[in-house]
């Protein structure tokens, strides 16, 4: 009961952070046909075994839910592993807390938005070395949105310290927030709707394990 109470208060704190940095938006003519701004569309403290998430052990990677965390473990170098929640949204704000448990700091982890399939989605990532950004995967490969390479993010905590990641996918505007600070804001209209998910990846060195908690999807 104490654990559940503490996790509930943490979730309320995340919601407070969202409202503080501008979670509310003005009304529009479609308001009567969609949830009110700030409505929680989906949340997961990972206390249940799956709750719709795809968990599996694949060649060189593993996705598990255990002890109130979703873990993504990637053994091979230069490999990304992701899992999706089995939802479908158009405009959303997504938050999660992620941190490295094992492996080198030269990694990446974060949130997927508007996931169509394994070759079509947006990714908003940071690394335990402080580098990150917004990128998309298409049938032609991976492309950094609004730039050429991932850039250093001073606001990101490095090493095995946790980071709160927020993603805004609203219309053609894509935004990445790290620990309450707006880091990147770009425009792209390749994808307009899709699933939400989580990702972890490696670069030159493998054997990375990332833990996620307090996943929440909010109506902008």
- Over the stretch 163-177, which tens digit does the pLDDT of each residue have? 999 999 999 999 999
Q: Which long-range contacts link 168-172 to residues 24+ away (Cβ below 8 Å)?
A: 168/93, 168/220, 169/89, 169/91, 169/92, 169/93, 169/94, 169/113, 169/114, 169/122, 170/91, 170/92, 170/93, 170/220, 171/91
- Tell me: pLDDT of 33 over 80: no
- pLDDT, residue 18, reads 52
Domain with residue 114: its CATH number is 2.60.120.560
Q: What percent of the chain has pLDDT over 90?
A: 79
- pLDDT, residue 17, reads 52
User: Distance (Å, rounded) from C-alpha 32 to C-alpha 26?
Assistant: 13
- Tell me: pLDDT of 60 over 50: yes
- β 57-58/107-117 pair status: unpaired
Enclosing domain of residue 197: 2-25+34-218
Q: What is the arithmetic mean of pLDDT over 130-138?
A: 98
Q: What is the arithmetic mean of pLDDT over 142-160?
A: 96
Residues sharing a CB contact under 8 Å with residue 67, sequence separation 6 or more, in sequence order: none
Q: What is the pTM of this model?
A: 0.86
* DSSP β-bridge partners for residue 9: none
Which has more pLDDT, 55 or 13?
55
Structurally, how many domains does the chain consist of?
1
């Amino acid at each position: 009961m104490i654990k559940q109470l503490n996790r509930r208060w943490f979730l309320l704190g995340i919601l407070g952070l969202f409202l503080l940095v501008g979670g509310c938006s003005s009304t529009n003519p479609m308001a009567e046909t969609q949830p009110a701004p700030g409505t929680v569309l989906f949340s997961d403290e990972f206390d249940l075994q799956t709750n719709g998430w795809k968990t599996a052990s694949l060649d060189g990677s593993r996705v598990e839910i255990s002890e109130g965390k979703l873990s993504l473990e990637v053994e091979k170098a230069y490999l990304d592993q992701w899992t999706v929640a089995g939802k479908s949204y158009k405009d959303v704000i997504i938050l999660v807390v992620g941190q490295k448990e094992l492996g080198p700091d030269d990694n990446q982890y974060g949130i997927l938005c508007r996931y169509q399939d394994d070759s079509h989605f947006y990714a908003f990532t940071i690394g335990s070395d402080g580098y990150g950004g917004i990128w998309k995967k298409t049938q032609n490969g991976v492309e950094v949105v609004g730039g050429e390479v991932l850039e250093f993010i001073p606001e990101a905590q490095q090493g095995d310290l946790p980071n709160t990641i927020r993603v805004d996918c609203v219309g053609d505007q894509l935004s990445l927030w790290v620990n309450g600070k707006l880091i990147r804001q770009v425009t792209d209209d390749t994808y307009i709707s899709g699933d939400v998910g989580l990702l972890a990846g490696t670069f030159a060195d493998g054997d990375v394990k990332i833990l996620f908690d307090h996943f929440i999807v909010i109506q902008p």
